[in-house]
A and B are shown apart, each in its own frame.
Chain A
C-alpha cells in the first residue's frame, strides 16, 4: 500500500485546496460554477429542516408514523427527501423505555437527504471512539441524562444503512401545528444526543 508523502507543514489545507482547484480548473476537469452549485445545494436545500418535517409529520399522522417505522426510505421519499447517502434509511423510535443514538465509528456516515452534512461533534474522534463504549457518560456530557430504567441502543453506521432517530414528542405541544412542531425538532435530537424541548411560553 502506498505511504502518503509528507507535505510541507507550512502549507495549510486551504493553500493546498486552492492549488488543487487551480490545477483541475486549468485542465478543464472541474468547472468552478459546478462546484458553486454543489456547495449552494448543501448550504441551502439539504439540512436538518428536512428531517424535522419528517418527524413532525410522524407526530401528527399515525399512519405516516407507521409507514416511517416500517420503511423510512419510502416514507421520506413521500416528502421528497431521497438521494445520496439515503439509499436505505431506518427510523428508530425513542420511547420512555428505549433511547437510540447513532454514530459512524469508521468515518462519518450520516443521512444526508434528511439531516444534511454532519456537524463537527459527530465527526470528532472523541464522539466516534467513546459513544460505543460509554454512551451514558457521553450523553451526559452533551447534557442528556437518562434514567437507569432507560435502555440505551447505539447504532454504528458501518454499511449503507442510514439512521434517523424519531424523538419523543414533548408534553404540552398538543395544540401546535405540524409546522410549529417541526420548528422544535433539532438535528441533535434526530441523531440521539438530545431530546426535543417543549416550547418556551
Chain B
C-alpha cells in the first residue's frame, strides 16, 4: 500500500505510543480493584456512624453515652483520642488502619471497626 511506504519509522513509534498511552490511561482510570475502606462505629450493636477512610480527610467527633469518647480519624487511620471511661483500653489500643482491626470500649459498649470491600491480607485475627 502506498500509505505504508510513505510512513516513516518514527510514525509507527508515534502510533504505538498513542495506543499505549490510551491503554495506560484506560487501565489507570478503570482498574477494578480500588480498595474502599470504611470505619464503622457501633454502639449497643447498632451502627451509629460510618466514615469513609479512602478520601484521606481528617476529622474528630465524639460518641456520647455512659461515657464520652473522642474518635480521631486521620487519613486512613483511626484511634480513640480521649475517653473518660474507667480503664481506657480503647485509648491504649492506639491507631488502627487495616481492615478487620477493631477498637473496643466495653464500658461504653462501643465497637470501632475497619471494614473493606475486599478480602483483607489476613484470613483472621485472634486476640
Question: Is chain B a partner of chain A in the same complex?
Answer: no
Q: A residues bordering B, Cβ < 8 Å?
A: none
